[in-house]
Structure 1
Amino acid sequence: MPRVSVEAERKEAILSAACEVVSEVGFKSLRVADVAKRAGMSTGSVHYYFDTKRDLMHAAFEWNFDRSLERRRELLEGAEPPARRLRAFIDSYLPHDPTTVAAWHVWAELWVEALHDADLQELNERVYGEWRRTVAAIIRDGQDHGVFRDGDAVHMANGLVGLIDGLSLQVLMGSKSMTVERMREVCELFVTLVTEPD
């Protein structure tokens, strides 16, 4: 039986490959054989860890979220001023590089599947709960320091998360009226609106 670390590495490789494949072809067209090939394994090896395509993708969606948090942990927990942290949070979600674009494709697939899958709805709820708490904490910190306007930090966080989601989808679909730079400008307007005037 493989050592735990080897099993963890194999599972990580499978989940990474699954996210790459779903990002490229979508959930409906994803085949376990394609994931296995991308991971450099046999289909049987993938099925050793995940009984079904559904099990694989549930784990991959969660893995994608965990990687997203890891990539941003330093900027979210850092000692930078609140407004700078909020801008860094926004910038980290702009679909402007291959890693972020691929992650957005996976999220878009999760949303579509979650419309018909109660387990994915729960995962989505957990993910968005985490994002709201993160953004609300930055906003509360800014309010405590007199940087951001008073108000319900959770409502403000919901507004920003919804803004990022909606604009990112437009960018991903190649909208001529919504580029990454225009998205950055709109999000900057949000930060300006919640910032206390000097």
Structure 2
Amino acid sequence: MPRTADHARRRAQITDAVCGLIAERGLDAVTVARTASRAGISVGLVQHYFPSKDDMLLHAFERVSGAVAARVADITSEGTRHERSIAEIVLAALAEHLPLDEARRAEFRVTRVFAGRALENPALAEVDARTAAGLHAEIARAVGNGVECGEVEPGVDADTAAARVAAVLEGLATQVYRGAPGAADRAWEVLRAEVAAVFTGECSQYVR
């Protein structure tokens, strides 16, 4: 196996171990020794790839963010291929950020732990802010596309709409994670209503 491929495989192996520990027991469970044991490698090898706990957490966050981004890209590609409205695609994409199943709950816990750690670490805070800005930009771009195709009224400000939708999404994700009765169903209802409030028209893109 080429050195670069082996390097990537080892880092992914360690990062998966970190994600598993965080998802099951929280950040305090993440030590070099426990990570090495879970990954099935030596302590020295873990330290070779990740000199600090924050390094491990950063890569765990990036791995989770990458997984979500890949699913969103698939949803967007499939939605476009099947000529779905922008509103439908946006709703499905936003739902990937909600902890509606065990896999997404584990991802959400990693992102929450990372955000908490970022409060005390400027380098992590920068990554956290950049990730949030990326989500905002994606929503704003969808709103702008909606204006062009007729799904969104021309006077709607894309940045304002994106800020509102992102804020609602973040709050809903927290409520769902807490596991209150009916939280998941309510989250769907609220998110659907928020998207519908922005995308009020019909797309002319696929009109024959």
Same fold (TM over 0.5): yes
Opposite residue 4 of structure 1, the aligned amino acid is T
Opposite residue 132 of structure 2, the aligned amino acid is Y
1:166 to 155, 167, 171: 171
In the other structure, the counterpart of 1:137 is 141
Q: Please tell me whether the aligned partners of residues 147 and 195 of structure 1 are also in contact (alpha carbons under 8 angstroms).
A: yes
Q: Please tell me whether the aligned partners of residues 94 and 184 of structure 1 are also in contact (alpha carbons under 8 angstroms).
A: no
Q: Please tell me whether the aligned partners of residues 85 and 138 of structure 1 are also in contact (alpha carbons under 8 angstroms).
A: no
Tell me by how many angstroms 1:2 deviates: 6.8
Alignment of 1:72-151 (within 5 A): 72-77=72-77, 79=80, 80-149=84-153, 150-151=155-156
**RMSD, matched Cα:** 1.9
Q: Aligned partners of 1:2 and 1:82: how far apart in 2?
A: 42
Kindly tell me the number of residue pairs found equivalent between the two proteins. Answer: 197
Deviations 1:29-54 (A, max 9, x none): 32122222221212211111011112
In the other structure, the counterpart of 1:25 is 25
Q: Aligned partners of 2:108 and 2:52: how far apart in 1?
A: 23
In the other structure, the counterpart of 1:186 is 190
In the other structure, the counterpart of 1:15 is 15
Q: Aligned partners of 1:2 and 1:192: how far apart in 2?
A: 49
Q: Please tell me whether the aligned partners of residues 22 and 30 of structure 1 are also in contact (alpha carbons under 8 angstroms).
A: yes
In the other structure, the counterpart of 1:153 is 158
Uncovered stretches (5+) of structure 1, i.e. residues with no partner:
none
Tell me by how many angstroms 1:197 deviates: 5.2
Q: Secondary structure at the match of 1:28?
A: helix
Deviations 1:137-163 (A, max 9, x none): 111111111112331112211211111
Q: Secondary structure at the match of 1:147?
A: coil
Opposite residue 165 of structure 2, the aligned amino acid is L
Q: Aligned partners of 2:132 and 2:76: how far apart in 1?
A: 16
Q: Aligned partners of 1:152 and 1:83: how far apart in 2?
A: 16
Tell me by how many angstroms 1:67 deviates: 2.0
Alignment partner of 1:57 is 2:57: yes
Q: Please tell me whether the aligned partners of residues 87 and 196 of structure 2 are also in contact (alpha carbons under 8 angstroms).
A: no
Q: Please tell me whether the aligned partners of residues 23 and 110 of structure 2 are also in contact (alpha carbons under 8 angstroms).
A: yes
Deviations 1:57-80 (A, max 9, x none): 122222221222122112235523
Q: Please tell me whether the aligned partners of residues 95 and 104 of structure 1 are also in contact (alpha carbons under 8 angstroms).
A: yes
In the other structure, the counterpart of 1:45 is 45
Uncovered stretches (5+) of structure 2, i.e. residues with no partner:
203-208
Q: Please tell me whether the aligned partners of residues 76 and 134 of structure 1 are also in contact (alpha carbons under 8 angstroms).
A: no
Structure 1 residues 83 and 118 mapped into 2: Cα distance closer, same or farther (>3 Å)?
same
Decide which moves more: 16-25 or 182-191. Answer: 16-25
Please identify runs of 4+ aligned residues in structure 1 that moved more than 6 A.
Answer: none
Q: Aligned partners of 2:165 and 2:130: how far apart in 1?
A: 17
* TM-score normalized by the length of structure 2: 0.87
Tell me by how many angstroms 1:166 deviates: 0.9
Q: Aligned partners of 2:95 and 2:63: how far apart in 1?
A: 21
Tell me by how many angstroms 1:95 deviates: 1.4
In the other structure, the counterpart of 1:36 is 36
